[in-house]
Amino acid sequence: MAAVSLENWKERIRDPKIECMSSDEMAHLQSERLVDVVNRAYHNVEFYHKKMKEQGVEPGDIKGIEDIHKLPFTTKEDLRDNYPFGLLAIPTKDVARVQGTSGTTGKLTIAPYSKKDVEVWGECVARCLTMAGLTSEDIIHVCYGYGLFTGGMGLDYGAQALGAVAIPMSAGNTKRQMMCMEDLGATAFACTPSYALHLAESMQEAGVVDRLKIKAGIHGAEPWTVEMRKKIESILHINCFDIYGLCEISGPGVAQDCIHHEGLHVHADYFYPEVLNPSTHEACGDGETGELVFTTLAKEAMPLIRYRTKDLTSMNRSKCKCGRTLPRISKFTGRTDDMKVIRGVNVFPTQVETALLSMGGAIAPHYMMIVDREDNMDVLTVMVEVDESMFSDEIRKLDALRDKIGAVLKQALGVSARVKLVEPKTIQRSEGKAVRVIDNRNL
Amino acid sequence: MGITIQQLSVFLENREGRLDEVLSVLAGNEINIVALSLADTSDYGMLRMIVSDPNKGKAVLRDNGITAMLTDVVALRVPHETGSLSKAMHQIVEGEVNIEYMYAFANGADASAVLKTDDPARVVDILRGSGFDVWEASEAYVSNIRE
């Protein structure tokens, strides 16, 4: 299938009343829902009751969305401390399902849903699928993992709400994925961007691209660059979309970009976004980067108030070319916990990835940042895997490659880095989110 | 058209036992090493080899997650006479071909030198034109194998 160019794109909006709502109407809806969720949290969740009392704020103080700054924050640690069901606001018998995510420390983060929460989740994903040009006519090949991870089920619920066909492939077994995609005539597929690229390259190698009916790719759950999107799009001749979500809030479908790729539209009628300065907690202006904080406005099972995502982004509240008025968050620049201050300069792994990609490779080689302190000086070492496309039998050329990577990194990061070339597959792969930084400084 | 042979080049991290692993993979797949050179830098090593079956060698290393590539090189036959290598080198310099690196190995009655240059085909022509000979692939890959 050919990718649809911007001129020929027909924008579809699933719920124009909400997605194109005026800011006053939206604020009114959000206010109503905030008052309701704060009441439910205060009266049904011991944790919020205590926390609000400590902060000296009562449900009556929250009259509208403009009062949200009076409310306390919720952190990932709070979720861990109340594991597994301490933050439940409904009786256990009303829990319809549970999803979760493996935290970096190994302990699960649990996300319970009521029947209505599941419906809202599906509705939000259906809005995203519509944003990607899909309708009830489409066949969506879901190769996100099915299980506790929200990816598989989320896209499945979305397809169901849309009235489309979901093919629950789950992840892995690339050959079988390719066969089913072709045989069942999938018109869209959904998976992590890194797996999408792997699949795309495998299909190109196998020479099956021309036989596919795929027109759209829905990818999220890990950060990816614009270059990576364009690469997948050009191999498969499709349009790809960046879907965002986190299981604590709902799963995929919290936000997604439209064909204009100028930020991800947040379904702010359900998930109220704030972007705050990570240290002062004051609201950032539009375009200013800060930590993304969500309040679930309609969640029944586990409502979260001002949940700190640790994802760094900026907000754009202007109306999009697609017609939506939903606020947009920019593609993620990193996470507050990934950020390293090296010799006083803020450095994010995504900057390293972008710099490596800018060197002309199709996909950034695997890398790892190691921060050490030698003689009271911060030293950044970036290990880069030498794959076959970069390899040379001449040491002179490898040294030149190393120096070039060093120069590109210095330019991009603002601090100099030692580059160490290592063998492919020697940098540890993680099952979930990739570990890109090791900090040995014990700060 | 000159005759070049294929060298198997392997990127080695400076890590305990890594060379042993590479050699084990080759040995386990019945690939004989005819000639070998190991260059080291502070960060990594570069193993260059002439082997009995370069394509298979690359494939089995790749299957074991080791980065390898094939490079066109020339295997010069160097007669055991003082000054013969110098003479060959002189011819190459005259022909304005750059030598990137070189290593030597014994092959039957002669010594041999593996030359990596920026123009392998031309080196073969130069050498043959000045009375030297080079090993063809069929000879180089099987040399020194005990009957």
- Would you call A107 helix, strand, or coil by DSSP? coil
B-chain residue closest to A392, CA distance: B69
Q: What is the pLDDT of residues A246-305, one digit of tens each?
A: 999 999 999 999 999 999 999 999 999 999 988 789 999 999 989 999 999 999 999 999
For chain A, where do the domains classified as CATH 3.30.300.30 start and end?
340-439
CA distance A28 to A31: 5
Residues of B in contact with A394 (CB under 8 A): 100-101, 116
pLDDT in tens, A35-94: 999 999 999 999 999 999 999 999 999 999 999 999 999 998 899 899 999 999 999 999
Q: Which distant-in-sequence residues (6+ apart) come within 8 Å of B27 by Cβ?
A: none
Regarding whether B85 and B52 lie in a shared domain, the answer is: no
Task: Count the helix, strand and coil residues of chain A and give each as a percent rounded to the nearest 5.
Answer: 35, 25, 40
Q: What is the DSSP string of A57-71?
A: --GGG--SGGGGGGS
The overall average pLDDT reported for chain A is: 90
**What does the block give as tokens for A211?**
């036989």
Longest alpha-carbon distance in chain A: 73
Question: Between B18-28 and B54-63, two packed helices, what is the crossing angle to 10 degrees?
Answer: 120
Same domain, B16 and B43: yes
Question: A421 near A401, Cβ under 8 Å?
Answer: yes
Residue A426 confidence (pLDDT) above 90: no
Best probe of the B interface among A386, A389, A393, by most B CBs < 10 A, is A393
Q: Which residue, B28, B46, B71, sits at the end of a domain?
A: B71
Locate the chain A residue with the closest alpha carbon to B39. A395
Tell me which of A56-70, A159-173, B131-145 is least confident: B131-145
Query: Band of the pLDDT at A431, cuts 50, 70, 90?
Result: very low
Regarding whether B79 and B125 lie in a shared domain, the answer is yes
Q: Alpha-carbon distance B100 to B106, whole Å?
A: 21
* CATH T-level assignment (fold) for domain A6-25+78-335: Rossmann fold (3.40.50)
| CATH number (domain holding residue B61) | 3.30.2130.10
| Longest alpha-carbon distance in chain B | 46
A432 min Cα distance to partner chain B (Å): 22
3-state secondary structure of A409: helix
Helices (H), A110-225: 115-131, 150-162, 174-183, 193-206
Inter-chain residue contact A395 with B7, CB threshold 8 Å = no
| B46 neighbourhood in chain A, CB within 8 Å | 393, 395, 398
Classify domain A340-439 at the CATH class level: alpha beta
What is d(CA A435, CA A431) in angstroms, rounded to the nearest whole number?
10
Q: Are residues B13 and B60 in the same domain?
A: yes
Of B22, B50, B71, the last residue of a domain is B71
Whether B39 and A426 lie within 8 Å, measured CB to CB: no
Tell me: the pLDDT tens digits for A369-389? 999 988 878 889 999 988 777
CB contact under 8 A, A386 and B71: no
- If you search the block for the tokens 């993979």, which residue do you land on? B25
Query: Are the beta carbons of B54 and B31 closer than 8 angstroms?
Result: no
Domain annotation covers residue B66: yes
How confident is the model over A227-244, as pLDDT tens digits? 889 989 999 999 999 999
Question: Domain boundary residue among B71, B96, B121?
Answer: B71
Residues B106 and B129 in one domain: yes
The band of A438, judged by pLDDT with boundaries at 50, 70 and 90, is: confident
> What is the C-alpha separation between A302 and A87, in angstroms, rounded?
6
Nearest to A246 by CA among A30, A436, A101, A103: A101
Positions of E strands within A376-439: 377-385, 417-422, 437-439
Query: A248 with A307: CB under 8 angstroms?
Result: yes
Q: Distance between CA A39 and CA A359 in Å, rounded?
A: 53
Looking at the fold, whether B33 and B66 belong to one and the same domain comes out as: yes
Residue B14 has pLDDT above 60, yes or no: yes
Q: How confident is the model at residue B1 (pLDDT cuts 50, 70, 90)?
A: very low
**Which residues of A touch chain B, with CB atoms under 8 Å apart?**
386-388, 391-396, 398-399, 402, 420-426
Q: Specify whether B40 is located in the same domain as B80.
A: no
pLDDT beyond 60 at A433: no
CB contact under 8 A, B65 and A391: no
Q: Does residue B101 share a domain with residue B46? A: no
Domain ranges, residue B104: 72-140
The two three-digit tokens of residue A300, written as one number: 């029944």
Which among A440, A375, A439, A365 has a CA at the least distance from the CA of A409? A365
CA-nearest of A37, A42, A39 to A54 is A42
Give A235→chain B minimum CA distance, Å.
25
Distance CA B47, CA B14 (A): 11
Residues B63 and B106 in one domain: no
pLDDT on residue A432? 44
Same domain, B58 and B118: no
Domain total for chain B?
A: 2
Q: Clarify whether residues B77 and B136 are in a common domain.
A: yes
Please give the torsion angle defined by the CA atoms of residues A395, A400, A402 and A404, in that order, rounded to the nearest 10 degrees. Answer: -170
CATH 3.40.50.12780 domain residues, chain A: 6-25+78-335
Please report the beta strands in B3-147, taking only residues with DSSP state E, as ranges in sequence order: 5-13, 33-40, 44-51, 68-78, 99-107, 110-117, 133-134
Q: What is the pTM of this model?
A: 0.69
In a domain, B146, yes or no: no
Distance between CA A55 and CA A62 in Å, rounded? 13
Per-residue confidence (pLDDT) for residue A407, from 0 to 100: 93
Which chain A positions have a beta carbon within 8 Å of B41's beta carbon? Answer: 395, 399
- Residues 6+ positions from B1 with CB-CB distance below 8 Å: B121
Q: Rounded to whole angstroms, how far apart are CA atoms A70 and B37? A: 70
